[in-house]
């Protein structure tokens, strides 16, 4: 991958989203970022893209605990879709609960579990690893 195209950020915390937007802009992480306040919003956009043969995200950063549809439910839905386009999915959570970390690793389509907060260094490192094919 030469650049990261579309990225989904799925989190119900407006303050987190504000900070993440700034970090993504500063690091030039992606050419386009879409923010969703819950998994249901992200799933609906994703589903429509698949149905309309539109580009799906290169990267998804999702929280776990959200209203309407949580991160686990979103991961389940995305896992049911067969795609030719590889998506790098990262669970981003403030939880350091080993059970949640282990659960995330059981999803074949989850690249990694990252503990909040996202920082400039974490995002720069994430971008580097994605572009170098380490994920």
Per-residue pLDDT of the chain (135 residues; tens, 9 = 90+): 789 999 999 999 999 999 999 999 999 999 999 999 999 999 999 999 999 999 999 999 999 999 999 999 999 999 999 888 899 999 999 999 999 999 999 999 999 999 999 999 999 999 999 999 999
**Dihedral angle sign, alpha carbons of residues 62, 67, 72, 77:** negative
Matching residue, tokens 């994605």: 130
Sorted by sequence, the CB contacts under 8 Å of residue 66 that are 6+ apart come out as 10, 11, 12, 37, 38, 39
Beta bridge partners of 10: 36, 62
- CB-CB neighbours of 62 under 10 Å: 26
HSE on the CB side for 38, CA within 13 Å?
A: 8
d(C-alpha 101, C-alpha 3), whole Å: 28
CA distance 75 to 77: 5
Among 54, 112, 129, 62, residue whose Cα is nearest residue 85: 54
Q: What is the CATH number of domain 6-131?
A: 3.40.50.2300
């Amino acid at each position: 991958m030469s650049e990261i195209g579309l990225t989904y950020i799925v989190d119900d915390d407006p303050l987190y989203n504000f900070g993440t937007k700034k970090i993504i802009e500063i690091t030039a992480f992606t050419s386009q970022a879409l923010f969703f306040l819950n998994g249901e919003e992200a799933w609906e956009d994703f589903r429509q893209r698949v149905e309309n043969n539109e580009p799906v995200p290169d990267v998804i950063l999702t929280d776990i605990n959200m209203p309407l549809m949580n991160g686990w439910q979103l991961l389940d839905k995305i896992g049911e879709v067969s795609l030719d386009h590889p998506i790098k999915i990262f669970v981003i959570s403030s939880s350091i609960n080993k059970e949640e970390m282990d659960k995330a690793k059981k999803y074949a389509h989850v690249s990694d579990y990252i503990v909040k907060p996202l920082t400039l260094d974490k995002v720069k490192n994430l971008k580097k690893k994605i572009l170098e094919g380490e994920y």
